[in-house]
Structure 1
């Protein structure tokens, strides 16, 4: 289908045939036009025998839109979307969230089903204001919903309402003045060096490999499960290119990254040795060290290490800090970096955090600086 664009905002006219644009004037097929109404909805019309008739129709529509007062366009949007129920609005909004990964989509669906829909499914979009949002947060607090879930549910509601606000449904931002749930991540439970050594040797070779990747390079669980011998790009650099997605059970892009994005992390000599030792001992499949134990054509399953870790804890023979999970091995990496004065901005990049604020909130207590130390340093400067 060939198309030809006019002035910005006018739309296009085209023919749905195999003839090149240069032969349209002699082609017997009719012209069609496509444009957007004042509400933003795309419209298509057909039945134009000549190009001039198609352009004339587009020009008339464009002129009418230009002459329509802006407040009338806003009134049309309010009439269309303001009376729409929250559930119907989300059904139209959700397909546009193409940037979300499968795991993020699953998380969104869970928040909608368990928190947002029960509270707002039938509510008209035009009736939201700061009091409605405040009441929603208070109800979550009253029902003892976890702070992390409160923050996530509020964040999704905020995204949806701001989308509606951009359409002009609200004169004022319905979130103005709303105090969001205050979520502060729990202090990370980190093994000591002696405990890390014990963990490395307590399980099988797979746990040893994953433990070294997480504690030595800062990889997430899924990233460690996708370890590939070809990702050693230098003697001291490992390139993280993908992860085993917990939802799809296949290889996928990194968290907060687009497909084909990567991040390079420091590769300690011991970790490099472990990768090469494991590859020599067990071999690789397309460079991957870990595959499904029952089917080498599939990615390594998350449950394998989770079950193994649970068995080690249940046995009680291993000194594992109270409250520590497998993810604590990654926390060790952050602790090791920060305690040796490596800048937190570098640590945030290596760990793949979307913002350095996440790193700071989680690991602030590990940073060597303190108020007392700052006071001593400042005092030295004042005394000079």
Structure 2
């Protein structure tokens, strides 16, 4: 019989193994859903996971690692020539690992300066590559800067023998799109060569999001750029990066006071003494 002490022991083992608090929470919640279903079906009397203490999760703003522009700039020359373009499109377009891996030549619209995201790569059984729809139905078109288009054009010219629209943009030596192990290996090589530690490829999405927010983009614009299912999904990790009500009020009143103090009315003309 499964007891609460068994669940507590399991949680302690996961913590001792170095799993992140968020991972522990997710695993326990998955098991808890099954146990609660068993309670409803009267297979067991009570949920033995109830009341089990879980590790404290860090607030998102403290746990998030946002690469700086100089760090991203250092990664590009440090990476393998083919992989540098992969990094650039993840940083400029906020693509997920699997979305960038699944890009084909025809997905790049050089004339309209945008890239179509319509699929993602997932690792299947035995290391096979599977193609699926993007996460949460986040098919989208992303706008790309001219310098990225230049990199993409050079990548196609130098590394792909033909411009076949259905050819993978970042093929492996066997002609398949790369999966997470291949990308992870290249990422570790690039960060090591650049002398950077603690950065994940996924942090490039934070890089784009923080840059858009700093430039004054609203939540819907950031949501669409990242392919989030809703504005709430965007606000959960990034809400703290937007100016709050106090910041906006302070900026507004500062402007009013500056206008009043920098151009005072003539006391003789207004009659004030």
Regarding TM over 0.5, the answer is yes
In the alignment, what sits opposite 2:221?
346
> Residues 372 and 172 (structure 1 numbering): CA distance in 2 closer, same or farther, change over 3 Å?
same
Q: Does 1:310 align with 2:184?
A: no
Task: Determine the structure 1 residue equivalent to 2:250.
Answer: 376
Higher relative contact order (CA 8 A, sep 6+): 2
Name the CA distance, whole Å, in 1 between partners of 2:49 and 2:180.
Answer: 39
Question: Residues 355 and 141 (structure 1 numbering): CA distance in 2 closer, same or farther, change over 3 Å?
Answer: farther
Change (3 A) 1:377 1:193: closer
Q: C-alpha offsets along residues 164-204 of structure 1, whole Å, 9 cap, x if unaligned?
A: 46657799999998887653445332332223222222222
In the TM superposition, residue 219 of structure 1 has moved relative to its aligned partner by: 0.4
Q: Summarize the Cα distance change of 1:138–1:300 in structure 2 as closer, same or farther, 3 Å threshold.
A: closer
Per the alignment, in what secondary structure is the counterpart of residue 116 of structure 2?
strand
> What does residue 231 of structure 1 align with?
107
Contact conserved, 1:245 with 1:251, CA < 8 A, in 2? yes
The size of the alignment, in residue pairs, is 246
SS in structure 2 opposite 1:251? strand
SS of 1:250's equivalent in the other structure is strand
1:326 aligns with 2:197: no
The aligned residue for residue 141 of structure 2 is 264
In terms of Rg, which structure is larger? 1
Correspondence list, 1:234-245, <5 A: 235-245=112-122
3-state SS of the aligned residue for 2:135?
coil
Larger helix fraction of residues: 2
Q: Report the alpha carbon displacement of residue 339 of structure 1 after superposing the two structures with TM.
A: 0.9
Matches within 5 A, 1:204-219: 204-219=80-95
Distance in 2 between residues matched to 1:319 and 1:227, nearest whole Å? 28
Say if 1:346 and 1:157 are closer, same or farther in 2 by CA, change over 3 A. Answer: farther
**Counterparts of residues 1-384 of structure 1 (less than 5 Å):** 122-123=1-2, 132=4, 136=7, 140=11, 144=15, 146-164=20-38, 167=41, 183=57, 184-185=59-60, 187-232=63-108, 235-247=112-124, 248-257=128-137, 262-283=139-160, 284=163, 286-293=166-173, 295-296=174-175, 298-315=176-193, 318-320=194-196, 322-367=197-242, 369-370=243-244, 372-376=246-250
Asked whether the 8 Å contact 2:102–2:131 carries over to 1, the reply is yes
How far does the alpha carbon of each residue in 1:128-157 deviate from its partner, in whole angstroms, 9 at most, with x for none?
9xxx5x994696268635311221023212
Q: Please tell me the root mean square deviation across aligned C-alpha atoms, in Å.
A: 3.9
- Distance between the aligned counterparts of 2:69 and 2:52, measured in 1? 44
- Tell me the SS of whatever aligns to 2:103: coil
**What CA distance in whole angstroms lies between the structure 2 residues aligned with 1:243 and 1:216?**
18
Distance 2:8 2:212 in 1: 37
Where 1:244 maps in the other structure, the secondary structure is strand
Is the contact made by 1:154 and 1:181 (CA closer than 8 Å) also made in structure 2?
A: no
- CA shift in 2, pair 1:279/1:306, >3 Å: same
| Aligned counterparts of 1:177 and 1:252: Cα–Cα separation in 2 | 38
Q: TM-score, normalised by structure 1?
A: 0.52
Secondary structure in structure 1 of the residue aligned to 2:169: coil
CA distance in 2, matches of 1:379, 1:206: 50
